[in-house]
Amino acid sequence: MKNVYDEIRLFYEEDIEWQPIVRREWVEGFLRQKAWQGVADAELRAMWRNIEMFILYLIHAENDSLDELTAREYSIAVEWLASHIPDYSISIESVRRFFDVLKDFFQYLYSKKAIAGTEEINRAAHEIAGGDTLRLMNIDDSELGIFSEDFDAPALLSDEFGKRVGDTVERLMVKIGSYFQQEQFSNDFDRALYLYTGPFDHVPENEQDEFWLGFWDYFLFDYHLLESDEKPLQHFFDLQYKTLNADERQILQDLLNAQFTVFYISRILGPDWVECIDLFTGAVMKLPYPDFEFNSLKKILFYGHLYSGGVVMLNYVTSVEVSPNLRQRIKDEVLRQKAIYEIQCPEATLTGFFDRHALVVRHTIDVLVTLAKVNVTSAFQLEKEFPVVRDIRTPNEQVALLLDKLAREYGLSCHDLMLVKRIWHDFSQLTVVTIRKPGVWAAAVLFSFAQMNGTDDISPEELAENVGISVTSLKNSRNKLFDVLQLQKFDPRYLSEEGFVLSLFVL
């Protein structure tokens, strides 16, 4: 281009679709004044580049008044520039240059009575770039709006921005994957793999890419870590947040807002969009047209993680072909499972059930579709009446402490330990227990929990030897626990994540 004014003309006439609050005549008047003062064209282009970036931010943020901008928003603008302008990187020099140009420009606008004052821009420049180091204000990355639906950047940035987002997602997933493949998470990884494949399956030799996509989707969003009961994505966010850049933080925050959803297509809205209905809530969603033949679209049931705004996260959603009748059966089965969970957690909502047992829903759909079972939920789990437990005494603390120790030794999860202690608490309310050897009752509670949930990896002989008691004492105490609490296989009051999954296949 011949000069800076050609760049300005192209920007206002072709690169943007509507007139921003910073008028073209303001920019040209400011730069012509600088030119009259002897500023060379190369420097004028550099000044225009800073003003252009500022205008792009204003378009994104939908600001309609320069006088309403605060120092905090200027800080947000700087972060946004680093995330969205490919050749802009944050440094004390680049930010100071940015503010120097804006201060001069605002002073020019003030002299023309286009704005009310220059106090905020001067304050922002001083607080953010006035010292030896950059001091961006403490802002929430959500304010940067990397995925803002209403941002329509100029065409010159759209491809680059899309590539930047894609590259950032890929980079973030590599970081997360590497983090959880450390030795400290090996037990979690093995447990998650067992839960995901189910008790009688294994990693398939064919379609391994699809299997691992599904597994990582489950592991990051739905699995609960052994030691903390956190979901891996939340754990990574809490511990690694400061190691990520602004784009990665924003993407990770959006991922944390994704929720497990089961849905189907109700109608076609056009070549690009479909209307979907949440199978359980009836909520209507507008989603991109999926890659399926038109005739099969309304036969497909989808399940995966959707962002609250209706954006499919990580582009991985599982799909199965089902009839309307089977779709209704799936819904009925899952709602019965939620009712089972309510026995353990009376205050549970549908969201709470999915939060704890989304994998049960995944397996239920798979079992009903592929194994052609009539149902996967046993009626006895809902119909059984259990003893009423009222808090009347404090459980023996020595037994509780031993349960902590044994849970760690036998690899129980944090959530399992809560259920194990609930067994001891409930038993202690229903009968008076004489404690001679705390180890007897701790071992009996642990053994009862394992038996109820269908696991056979705790040998009574090994457990008794570990605690220093006889196998007879262990089994006698176990029998008393079963009698007083009226325990049963896959007892819904104390059903673990492993137990719930296993029950789908063996009941």
Same domain as 266, residue 249 = no
Question: Which pLDDT does position 58 carry in this prediction?
Answer: 86
Task: Give the separation between CA 90 and CA 82, rounded to whole angstroms.
Answer: 6
For residue 118, tell me if it sits in a domain.
Answer: yes
* Strand pairing report for 312-321 and 273-278: unpaired
Same domain as 146, residue 13 = yes
Question: Which pLDDT does position 149 carry in this prediction?
Answer: 40
Same domain as 148, residue 11 = yes
- Which residue among 98, 122, 153 closes a domain? 153
Question: Which pLDDT does position 93 carry in this prediction?
Answer: 92
pLDDT digits (tens, 9 = 90+) for 42-95: 999 999 999 999 998 888 776 778 988 888 888 888 888 887 787 787 889 999
Q: Domain of 168?
A: 161-255
Task: Give the separation between CA 220 and CA 216, rounded to whole angstroms.
Answer: 6
- Which residue among 255, 285, 318 closes a domain? 255
Same domain as 144, residue 24 = yes
For the chain, the domain total comes to 4
Output the six-digit token pair for 305: 């993680």
Question: Which pLDDT does position 372 carry in this prediction?
Answer: 67
Q: How far is CA 41 from the centre of its chain?
A: 49
Same domain as 19, residue 96 = yes
Q: How far is CA 367 from the centre of its chain?
A: 26
Question: Which pLDDT does position 281 carry in this prediction?
Answer: 93
For residue 389, tell me if it sits in a domain.
Answer: no
Same domain as 195, residue 310 = no
- Which residue among 220, 239, 255 closes a domain? 255
* Strand pairing report for 259-268 and 312-321: unpaired
Question: Which pLDDT does position 151 carry in this prediction?
Answer: 40
Smallest CA-to-CA distance from 104 within 31, 19, 11 is with 31
Instruction: Collect all residues with Cβ–Cβ distance below 8 Å to 168 and sequence separation of at least 6.
Output: 247, 248, 251
* pLDDT under 50: residue ranges of the chain: 139-158, 309-314
For residue 238, tell me if it sits in a domain.
Answer: yes
Question: Which pLDDT does position 163 carry in this prediction?
Answer: 62
Same domain as 229, residue 127 = no
Question: Which pLDDT does position 1 carry in this prediction?
Answer: 53
Same domain as 443, residue 336 = no
Question: Which pLDDT does position 59 carry in this prediction?
Answer: 80
Same domain as 359, residue 289 = yes
For residues 144 and 76, is the Cβ–Cβ distance under 8 A?
yes
